[in-house]
Chains A and B, each alone.
Chain A
Amino acid sequence: MLVPVHEARRLWQRSGAERWGLAESDFTGVLERSAAARFRGGPPAPDQVAGFLAALHHEDLALAAACALGLNAAWEHFVREFRPILLRVAGKGQPVDRVRDVADSIYADLFGLEQRDGKRRSLFDYYHGRSSLAGWLRAVVAQRIVDKVRESRRFDPLPDDEGEASGGVSDGTPAVDRERYLTLVQGALAAALARLEARDRLRLSLYYARDVKLKAIGRMLGESEATASRKLERTRRMLREAVERRLRDEQRLTDAEIALCFDYARTDPAFDLARTLPPPATEEEGA
């Protein structure tokens, strides 16, 4: 037992669980499960447990636990208050039929239509209270949608291969040189990216690859929009300097050749950077 009895009682009273008819023992079980998931590595110190418990969203945890048990009052409140959030996230930039599919599947999983070992399993069982219930719901819906989209990509026809770069450009540069310059600049950029801190890489990826706006990036990283913008600008400046330095010092390119590298990256319509480099080292290869 990680959660002291008196602490569990105090948090149960504070969470307003009685409003939903949630018993103290059920709420204590939820706290235990959440603490066990957090301290999977080993027995924590009492103050660590106390700090962890204090930081949980207790009211949301009680509501989720009551919903998982199928208590009517809790479920009615959840549907009334959280359905707009679910629909808004599910509907963001998605076709209507996909929104409905996702929303329906989530409702079913939240209610717990699936049974395992004779016991109903609810998606609420996976809510551990470390975030708000609304935030958790947004993440659940987002993950469902993303997984559906990614799965459908596997079956989308591949884009027509536009072929290699044209044999030459107006400056008469042979194609092999164009390919070489493009490969060099991409290699320099990849090396510079690898040297960034994870937080800076994440900020760059969210902005450039996922088209997330600065305000949202700042919110995710606990920064203001102005701070996110400033750090992004600083990172980009560092990358540019690192790329140019690498091309100049290691590849022995002249300034004119460095300029060509960037020009070709801009103007070559058929250049696919994904084809020129192997995928980055990841935690697990495959799929």
Chain B
Amino acid sequence: MSTDRQRDADLDRLLRATLRRDSAIQPDACPDAGMLAAVVEGGVSVDERAPLEEHLAACGRCQETLAAMDLEAPASSQAPTPAVAAKRPWLWRGHLHWLIPVAAASMLVIYLASKPAIAPYFPPGRPAPDTQMADARTSQFPPAESVERTAPPPAAVTDKGKTGVDEQTVLGPAAPAAGSAPPAQARRSDAAAPAFAPKPVPLPAKGEQAAASGTFAMRTKQDVDAAKKAAEPAAPQPASATPAVAPPVTATVNVTEAAPPSRAGLPAGGEARLTATKAAAPAAAAPPTMNQVLTATAPPPAAEGIIAGAELSKTDAKGAAVAAAANVQSKGDASERALRAAPSDLVVVSAPGGRIQWRVGSNGGIWRSADEGKTWYPQKSGVKSALLAAAAPSVNACWAVGVGGTVLLTDDGERWERRPFPERTDLVMVDARSSHEAIVTTRDGRRFATANRGATWTLQR
């Protein structure tokens, strides 16, 4: 009697014998070399891809061609035209290219060191996304009898979005508005003062700061100095604050302010509710010490997949800002968690009404809340790319976009599907009128519009 593993091996042999039988498809029916290459490079539309895959799944000639195309060769092996090569900065032309992995590793170390804990975001027993990715990478498909398969590559060397490095950290967060404070991450190394200063310091009037909303934005040393020099001599300064310390407030970088999307393509009445508030890392100048983090009481266990709102409140800019505005002292675990450094890579959007919310971020992470952010449920995005922006035009529809031309759409609020995009370029913004109509903006400022759920895209002028 076969064992279970033996049964699997037997099935492997059967599959190999069955699938190697050559089909009798005429060569004239095969796609030309250009279409084969376009399929490999993602250059075909979704309506073209389905019939192509049907053919490829049945055609031995095309399968052998694909196998012979050296698909394992890195994409960079493609010879660039001089225009492309000239556009590349000096660093990419072969000079000091070794700096890139070193820089990436350094940023990873800084990022991990600046994130006190990611485990509390997930219920006990459920690994964090990076761990899940590592587990997926280490799981190896059983090797065939005599053909050596490569094990999944080490976690540090994979395709985009799979390096274990938070892409948002590597690429940098979205550029804040001119004049706004730099992200808190840059200031993490300034930790010296007590975790929480008693009184926040008013901000200089710079427009984009969240003063208008009643929240406090992050202060940097420059802001502190500017505040001193500003016409507010009576502004109280924390007695215990050192020159390098800023009050422990949460940074609120409003992505829409950084590059406000043009609403020209959307009718005023049907404008999507786009609230992309980027919960950036807070309290850079005065983060809690490691002891404070380690001794903080663990959050109450939550049901599988449900993340208590309190744990995610640290990522909620509004919640954290409210806590900061209330002059929370370093007294209890709840206040510590509320002001603990939050991941800087989560974008929050609300559907009309505010009850339904989504969060998107690195590693294709998507969470949904149906109770105004009190509890969150993870959703399967099907991608590992970093998601940079989102828009929720209705309670059931949400668009999410990110690096490498990633476009995701749900129109039932639960299941996400990837929509094709003509370029593998980073998409940093999305405006959506409905689940059918949306406009995305690339990192270099170009805008593409769709009116058919992302089946086709048109470059906007």
A contact set with B: CB distance below 8 Å: 15-16, 19, 47-48, 50-52, 54-55, 59-60, 63, 77, 81-82, 84-85, 88-89, 92-93, 126-128, 130-136, 138-143, 145-147, 149-150, 185-186, 189-190, 193, 198-199, 201-202, 204-206, 208-220, 222, 224-227, 229-230, 232-233, 236, 239-240, 243, 256, 259, 262-263, 265-266, 272-274, 279-280, 282-287
Would A213 and B58 count as touching, CB distance under 8 A? Answer: no
- Which residue of chain B has its CB nearest to the CB of A216? B71
- B141-171 CB mask vs A (1 if < 8 Å, else 0) is 1001001011011000011011000000000
Name the B residues within 8 Å of A280 (CB-CB): 21, 23, 58
Would A89 and B12 count as touching, CB distance under 8 A? Answer: no
What's the minimum C-beta distance from B422 to chain A, rounded to whole angstroms? 3
The answer to whether A128 and B34 touch (CB under 8 A), given A206-B66, A225-B158, A229-B141, is yes
Q: Does B102 contact A (CB under 8 A)?
A: no
Bound CA span A262–B78, Å: 45
Would B37 and A135 count as touching, CB distance under 8 A? Answer: yes
What's the minimum C-beta distance from A3 to chain B, rounded to whole angstroms? 14
Would B66 and A138 count as touching, CB distance under 8 A? Answer: no
Bound CA span A206–B68, Å: 11
- Which residue of chain A has its CB nearest to the CB of B144? A208
Bound CA span A51–B422, Å: 8
Q: Does B79 contact A (CB under 8 A)?
A: yes
Name the B residues within 8 Å of A285 (CB-CB): 24
Would A256 and B136 count as touching, CB distance under 8 A? Answer: no
Q: Does B273 contact A (CB under 8 A)?
A: no
Would B21 and A16 count as touching, CB distance under 8 A? Answer: no
B77's partner among A134, A143, A263 (CB-CB below 8 A) is: A134
Q: Does B303 contact A (CB under 8 A)?
A: no
Would B68 and A89 count as touching, CB distance under 8 A? Answer: yes
Flag the segment in B39-47, B292-300, B334-342 that touches A: B39-47
The answer to whether A130 and B9 touch (CB under 8 A), given A146-B61, A198-B54, A213-B150, is no
- Which residue of chain B has its CB nearest to the CB of A230? B136
Name the B residues within 8 Å of A218 (CB-CB): 159
Name the B residues within 8 Å of A220 (CB-CB): 39-40, 66, 71
- B131-146 CB mask vs A (1 if < 8 Å, else 0) is 0010011011100100
List 19 A–B pairs whose Cβ atoms lie within 8 Å, in order of A's numbering: A15-B83, A51-B459, A128-B34, A131-B41, A139-B65, A142-B33, A150-B61, A189-B14, A202-B63, A214-B141, A220-B66, A225-B159, A236-B11, A240-B8, A263-B2, A272-B17, A282-B58, A283-B25, A283-B58
- B66-101 CB mask vs A (1 if < 8 Å, else 0) is 111111110001111111100000000000000000
What's the minimum C-beta distance from A26 to chain B, rounded to whole angstroms? 17
A55's partner among B14, B43, B64 (CB-CB below 8 A) is: B43
Would B67 and A206 count as touching, CB distance under 8 A? Answer: yes
Bound CA span A198–B32, Å: 19
Name the B residues within 8 Å of A279 (CB-CB): 21, 23-24
What's the minimum C-beta distance from A48 to chain B, rounded to whole angstroms? 6
Would B69 and A81 count as touching, CB distance under 8 A? Answer: no
Bound CA span A186–B18, Å: 8
Would A202 and B57 count as touching, CB distance under 8 A? Answer: yes
Would B83 and A19 count as touching, CB distance under 8 A? Answer: yes
A-B pairs with the 4 shortest C-beta distances? A55-B422, A131-B37, A81-B79, A134-B78
The answer to whether A287 and B26 touch (CB under 8 A), given A47-B456, A136-B33, A230-B136, is yes
Name the A residues within 8 Å of B18 (CB-CB): 186, 189-190, 193, 273
Name the B residues within 8 Å of A147 (CB-CB): 27, 61
Name the A residues within 8 Å of B331 (CB-CB): none
Would B8 and A139 count as touching, CB distance under 8 A? Answer: no
The answer to whether A229 and B53 touch (CB under 8 A), given A131-B34, A139-B37, A220-B39, is no
What's the minimum C-beta distance from B298 to chain A, rounded to whole angstroms? 30
Bound CA span A239–B147, Å: 21
Q: Does B457 contact A (CB under 8 A)?
A: yes
B459's partner among A50, A136, A210 (CB-CB below 8 A) is: A50
Q: Does B229 contact A (CB under 8 A)?
A: no
Name the B residues within 8 Å of A212 (CB-CB): 66-67, 71
The answer to whether A229 and B72 touch (CB under 8 A), given A54-B459, A131-B38, is no
Name the B residues within 8 Å of A128 (CB-CB): 34
- Which residue of chain A has its CB nearest to the CB of B17? A273
- Which residue of chain B has its CB nearest to the CB of A94? B68
A59's partner among B9, B14, B23, B81 (CB-CB below 8 A) is: B81
